[in-house]
Amino acid sequence: MSDYPGYLGSYHSGKLEIIARELFLSLSSCEICPRSCKVDRLKGRRGFCKSGVLPEIFSYMVHRGEEPPVSGTKGSGTIFFSRCNMSCAYCQNYEFSQLGKGRRYGANQLAQVMLQLQKLGCHNINLVTPTHFLPQILRSLQLAVQGGLKIPLVYNTSGYETPEVIRLLDGIVDIYLADSRYGDDSAAGKISKAPDYVEFNRASLKEMQRQVGVAQFDEEGLIRKGLIVRHLVLPGGVSRTAEVMRFIAEEISADTYVSLMSQYLPYYLAGDHPEINRRLRKEEYRQARDILEEYGLLNGWVQESYGQERFAGVYIRPR
């Protein structure tokens, strides 16, 4: 692939600078996500996500527990951004996603984090929950390119995105690691305060697929480009797994790589919702695996060690 990662070509053509500037100026009436709060973040106003002008980071690390082609042998250079445009009652990262723990980073500081992770040998830069700080990330990306950054970006998102913003990332992001959490808006509204999640999630996944297509891997099994869709199985069928998988198979691609996650635990405010205030049962996860096969989604990974965060690297049936 020429100009790989994609952001190198976008940097040299000037596209990256234009998109970064456009998105940053749009913070004066923020519509970076489906919330469309329209607050002036450049003047310190804060909307649903409570994010300001400077990006906030809880931690960054060499992450070895992502899907095998993301973590590889040397780890994924993962940056955990504070705050979130969703409000999931069960969020395991609630200390920084909901309570805002973390510290502010300037543009050059964030660029140096990217370069440090590359120096540590990471295969990629894994941006976890980046949506609300996307304009700032792209500004830092320009500085990081000037400093020699040359490993691909992983856009690791909750999936609550607008397709218009995702479209701007065409030619900048090579790897999308996107959630599809719900197949039903009533659950999304009640448990994550995102009553329009399904509409925006599906439109954004379609745009991601249009840009990067089915995941492609190198000779070492590392992902070079493409879409991976994650689905966290919730207790009691709340996530509507069958509807999510039907959409992926019929409207994205039956070749899509799906990561089926079993690690649900009733964190944070899950106790306020009796339907999810318990651990996921083994039989519920087995049923979710059966649904994958029913819809012919035979590429991807399952968590072989039930309830553990680390992926065993088990392919359902690689094509």
pTM: 0.95
Predicted confidence at residue 2, as pLDDT, reads 64
Rounded CA-CA distance 266/186 in Å is 19
Rounded CA-CA distance 78/113 in Å is 10
Per-residue pLDDT for 114 more than 60? Answer: yes
Predicted confidence at residue 191, as pLDDT, reads 98
pLDDT in tens, 200-253: 999 999 999 999 999 999 999 999 999 999 999 999 999 999 999 999 999 999
Per-residue pLDDT for 92 more than 90? Answer: yes
Rounded CA-CA distance 297/289 in Å is 10
Please say whether the beta carbons of 39 and 45 come within 8 A: yes
Half-sphere exposure of 195 (CA within 13 A, CB side): 1
| Mean pLDDT of all residues in 92-120 | 97
Q: Among residues 153, 119, 210, which one has the least CA distance to residue 8?
A: 153
Per-residue pLDDT for 14 more than 90? Answer: yes
Predicted confidence at residue 305, as pLDDT, reads 61
Q: Which residue has the tokens 């780890």?
A: 75
Predicted confidence at residue 306, as pLDDT, reads 53
Per-residue pLDDT for 315 more than 50? Answer: no
pLDDT in tens, 127-173: 999 999 999 999 999 999 999 999 999 999 999 999 999 999 999 99
pLDDT in tens, 44-88: 999 999 999 999 999 999 999 999 999 999 999 999 999 999 999
Helix/strand/coil for 315: strand
Predicted confidence at residue 3, as pLDDT, reads 86
